[in-house]
Amino acid sequence: MTTNAVAKPAGDVVARVDFQYRWRTWALFLLFFCWGLWSLNDGFVRYPRENAAWAKMDERVNRPAKPPHEISSVIFNQAIGIGLTILSIPLLAWRSYRSRGAYVLAGDIVRVPGLDPVALSQIRGLDLVRWDRKGMAVVEYGDAAGQIQRFVLNDMIYERTATDRIVDRIEAHLNSQDASSSTGQ
């Protein structure tokens, strides 16, 4: 029986988008968008309607001294409603764009969304200053023109275990280069 499936070579590592990151992205979008719509309703419909009803009340028959909603509350809700509703859409787009694709380490080639494939031999350095605290590793590599470029591996956005394995393999490659250069080979 033949199969069309292509087997991945052993050692390939694929870090897909983390489910929790995507869930948080949508939850944040819904929170901002719904809060914005609620504030729009309060600022443009409900509060002005209740203030208009207060203004029509007879002053002699149980009319409170102040309107139910100060003008500052109306303006605040209008501003928050417009701001959050407008902000929520680009926020969703940016966070979705930021988490597109996957990190792939296939053999000695690293693929990161938005960049050309980078061979391990092109990698010049690995900055792990923010790795323990934030899960962000900055990889420096030389591109085809000889310019130093950087990309970030972030284990909050992509699957943590797979991203950690990719960083470990890059670090091991750099350590083996250092060891071979220090022995004079």
- CA triplet 7, 11, 16: central angle to 5 degrees? 80
* 78-111: pLDDT as tens digits: 999 999 999 999 999 999 999 999 999 999 999 9
Range of the domain at 141: 103-182
CATH number at residue 153: 2.30.29.30
Q: What is the mean pLDDT of residues 46-52?
A: 92
In a domain, 86, yes or no: yes
Predicted TM-score (pTM) of this structure: 0.76
Indicate whether 3 belongs to any domain: no
Domain termination residue (choose one: 98, 121, 139): 98
Residue 6 pLDDT greater than 70, yes or no: no
What pLDDT does 4 receive?
A: 45
**114 in the same domain as 80:** no
pLDDT of residue 184: 60
| pLDDT tens, residue by residue, 153-172 | 999 999 999 999 999 999 99
Per-residue pLDDT averaged across 40-69, rounded? 85
Residue 40 maps to a domain: yes
